[in-house]
Structure 1
Amino acid sequence: MKTQTSVPTSKVARASQFVKAGVKVGGNYIKHYSKKLIDPDLSKEELHRDNAADIYDALSELKGSALKMAQMLSMDRGLLPVAYSDKFTMAQYSAPPLSGPLVVKTFKTYFGKSPAQLFDTFDMEAVNAASIGQVHQAWKDGKKLAVKVQYPGVADAVSSDLKIAKPLAVRLLNLNERDIDRYMGEVESKLLEETDYELELRRSIEISQACAHLDGLVFPKYYPEFSSKRILTMDWLDGLHLREFLKTSPSQEVRDRIGQSLWDFYDFQIHTLRQVHADPHPGNFLMNADGTMGVIDFGCVKVIPDFYYDNYFLLVNPDTLDDPKLTAEIFNNLEFLTPEDSAKDRTFFTDLFKEMTLMLAEPFAVDTFDFGDDSYFTKVYAFAEGLSALPELKNSKVARGSQDGLYVNRTYYGLYAMLNELKAKVVTTKPEWLRSKKLAAVT
């Protein structure tokens, strides 16, 4: 794989990369419409492929928050054309790695020693490179280790990158700036947390120990003495990322076991710990033929406030939507409805969010859910696509939905997407108070 010898760190250099990407995208549109004059039936598939490649190339050189945005977008398969989500998936675990001299420089900055002086052996060639950092293999006292090294300058560039990238996001996602601005603070705070490996070290130890009792999950041991603000060292875990794992044609039994472990992992974090590994993309899980799964990377953790938790999950119970007064109260609390809404607006958005809630909460309404049912996901993606075209949403003077929902919803979206790729049938465990009494009476 081609290595990268430097990362643009100044605002001017990083802005130039975004500008370069924008110019290439503009050129691709010109090329597309020139061809369309000759062939009026020409689709946008080639345009999407060219734009996706040019944007990814620019973001992959920037690393950090820019590449992280591509990673996040790759999870939203209903939000972007397939060409974008397929290309941006590379940001999950196969971005261009940094060259050896930059890695050595990072070690000397934080330890005053080279990696060769700290470890018995250290492989200078990265085995995995993603958005915030890359992973190297090392050995110490007979133990095989994974050493994550953060790309230089990414922590300092988070805020400026988000400001520079906003126009590109507006164009790609067809969103207005008000909607993006509403959540920018939440995204910025989480990205800043992800660049703090000392915080990640503490959270990794805390959450992995709390979840150690869950069946089928494997967590690495972490080593504070070989970790710092920009370097994180842990045990090496064997296993395959999701797509490589699926190529081995695992049995349905193994798929279901891994799927159940995923569900139980998130169920326990959300309902017991009230904080959750909020980055459920395939690059953070290592799957094995025996149905066990390694869990890595606790850089993005969402602490769920009690007020949001109580309202969000009360809404997930199907019985709640049968109570108009309680539903309206929760919609107000979650900021789906606002004091500025007219009676017409309240009716429209109440119906819209009731439909959305029923759809996304379907797995909670039953004891067992087949995530291999593609018709369910086709319905969800079609609904999401329809939302982007609704004039009532596009022209709304307020952004809707609590900022706390951004990462909670993303967590469930990522979880559902992985379970769908696994084609897993899962027992959807949940707190007893989340079970519908009316459905239970029927069955």
Structure 2
Amino acid sequence: MAKKPVTSRSGRFFKLAGMTASVAGQYAGQRARRLFGTENDEGAQSESYTRMAGQIADTLGELKGAVMKVGQIASQTQDFLPKEFSEALEKLQKEAPPMPFEVIVAQVESELGKPVPELFEYLQETPYAAASIGQVHRARLHDGTDVIVKVQYPGVDESCDSDLKQLRLALKLGGLLKMPKETVDQLFGEIRVRLKEELDYENEARNLKMFREFHAEDPWVIIPTVIDSHSSRRVLTLELVEGDHVSQVTPARYDQDTINLIGHRILTTMADQLFRFQCIHGDPHAGNFAYRPDGSVIMYDFGCVKKLKPEIVEAYRKVLIAALDEDYQALDRHLIDLGARVGSQPAVDEAYYAMWRDILIVPFDQDEPYDFAESELHKHVAAKTSTVFKYLDYFKPPVESIFIDRMIAGHYWMLKRLGVQAAFRSELEKYLKAVE
């Protein structure tokens, strides 16, 4: 029998409070066992982390909303949480179980002020997609226009602040936050701002229109049109724009030249948004993009958009130039400007920067096409993460640019899954040299 969804603020609080108490108890028990010498090996600690993380991930997945979204961000963010927690949260990247249809209908009618039959010729009961803060249903307007209707889960926006406080407490009491309080404050503050924007579908409608205008001269970038008459703060209706999910981009329909063209267009889109628009699509996972055999790239879900400060974009540009040029003294200075390096600490050993540069720069450091399908860049990064501990006090999560890192990591996985073969150095250098 399916569990009844938790939609009230008090219900969510008690569910999260129960999770917090359980996690805190497990952590206290683990510390006591280590103190008295009954548990001291890393394997036991890892097993304990895995158990706690699994419980947190299950609770977040059931509650959806802000806490689930934080879990998704945490699973993509290095140095935020232990790897056991990030691994447990990866399942939150997949589609969430859907909310009952009667809950969705009630939310649509409450928001739009009319019965569903008056609003739509039909509203399909089976979700088109289910995500962290809402789910999507196909529908048709009475004029025959095929649309998708994005409906926010009830209670999610009202509970955002209390959810975040409770999750932060759970992570703290579980011994899972490995950062100074100031950095945690900044990180959760940034996440809260992005979530508040994402929970406002009127804001997303404005973002969609803004990005459609920015990409107006890029006919190969397709962004759905907003149906204003059927949209509100918690319901967003868009024209139905269909394409192939990355899993459907197969040799039977896409030759290698088309896949490579799509790869170049993904890079161009990403670089244009970062360096020219200084405003980025901040949620680049496979479900938010689709493709067509003519090389078109379709972009969905503009709830998470990050407007970047010009000085952050400039610092990021200089970091990339210094890394390409192997100028590690300049790289150190620019990382401080970016907010990624603690300025009060002495300069970092150039050999440390060289090691990471040699791993991360590979796709952009050659004139021959780089085969993303065969890329093991992520494995090389994982193999070197233990070296981070040597300089733990020298670096901090770059709060202002965390969504740039998220965007680049998300696009790397898309290029890999698509099987793109491309040489990007000359394209990247055009953006790095252009000062607008």
Summarize the alignment of residues 163-242 of structure 1 with structure 2, pairs less than 5 Å apart.
163-169=165-171, 175-178=178-181, 179-214=183-218, 216-242=220-246
Cα contact 2:221–2:299 (8 A) shared by 1:
yes
Quickly say closer, same or farther: Cα 1:301–1:340, change in 2 above 3 A: same
Quickly say closer, same or farther: Cα 1:328–1:84, change in 2 above 3 A: closer
- The unaligned stretches of length 5 or more in structure 2 are 31-37
**Comparing 148-157 with 168-177, which one deviates more in the overlay?**
168-177
Q: CA RMSD in A?
A: 3.9
Distance between the aligned counterparts of 2:228 and 2:305, measured in 1? 19
Distance between the aligned counterparts of 1:81 and 1:400, measured in 2? 15
Amino acid of the structure 2 residue aligned with 1:175: K
Distance between the aligned counterparts of 1:202 and 1:243, measured in 2? 30
Normalising by structure 1, what TM-score? 0.80
Distance between the aligned counterparts of 1:378 and 1:85, measured in 2? 16
Report the Cα offset of residue 399 of structure 1: 5.9
Give the structure 2 partner of residue 360 of structure 1: 360
Quickly say closer, same or farther: Cα 1:324–1:66, change in 2 above 3 A: closer
1:434 aligned to 423, 432, 435, which one?
432
Report the Cα offset of residue 316 of structure 1: 0.3
Give the structure 2 partner of residue 146 of structure 1: 148
CA deviation vs aligned residue, 1:283-317 (integer Å, no higher than 9, x gap): 21123455433210011111111111111111101
Determine helix, strand or coil for the equivalent of 1:7. coil
Amino acid of the structure 2 residue aligned with 1:285: F
Give the structure 2 partner of residue 34 of structure 1: none
Amino acid of the structure 1 residue aligned with 2:149: V
Amino acid of the structure 2 residue aligned with 1:7: T
Number of aligned residue pairs: 420
Quickly say closer, same or farther: Cα 1:236–1:91, change in 2 above 3 A: farther
Report the Cα offset of residue 145 of structure 1: 0.6
Give the structure 2 partner of residue 33 of structure 1: none
Report the Cα offset of residue 251 of structure 1: 4.5
Residues 1:95 and 2:91 are matched in the alignment: no
Quickly say closer, same or farther: Cα 1:432–1:239, change in 2 above 3 A: closer
Give the structure 1 partner of residue 34 of structure 2: none
Normalising by structure 2, what TM-score? 0.81
- The unaligned stretches of length 5 or more in structure 1 are 30-36, 437-443
Summarize the alignment of residues 43-442 of structure 1 with structure 2, pairs less than 5 Å apart.
54-75=55-76, 88-92=89-93, 94-140=95-141, 141-169=143-171, 175-178=178-181, 179-214=183-218, 216-243=220-247, 245=249, 251-288=255-292, 291-318=295-322, 322-323=326-327, 326-341=330-345, 345-348=346-349, 352-353=352-353, 355-357=355-357, 359-367=359-367, 368-387=369-388, 390-393=389-392, 396=393, 400-428=396-424, 429-430=427-428, 432=430, 434=432
Distance between the aligned counterparts of 2:254 and 2:87, measured in 1? 23
Distance between the aligned counterparts of 1:372 and 1:79, measured in 2? 28
Distance between the aligned counterparts of 2:63 and 2:232, measured in 1? 22
Distance between the aligned counterparts of 2:46 and 2:295, measured in 1? 37
> Equivalent pairs: percent with the same residue?
26
Quickly say closer, same or farther: Cα 1:327–1:197, change in 2 above 3 A: same
Amino acid of the structure 1 residue aligned with 2:363: P
Quickly say closer, same or farther: Cα 1:60–1:280, change in 2 above 3 A: same
Distance between the aligned counterparts of 2:222 and 2:432, measured in 1? 28
Cα contact 2:70–2:191 (8 A) shared by 1:
no
Report the Cα offset of residue 255 of structure 1: 3.4
Distance between the aligned counterparts of 1:82 and 1:323, measured in 2? 31
Determine helix, strand or coil for the equivalent of 1:154. coil
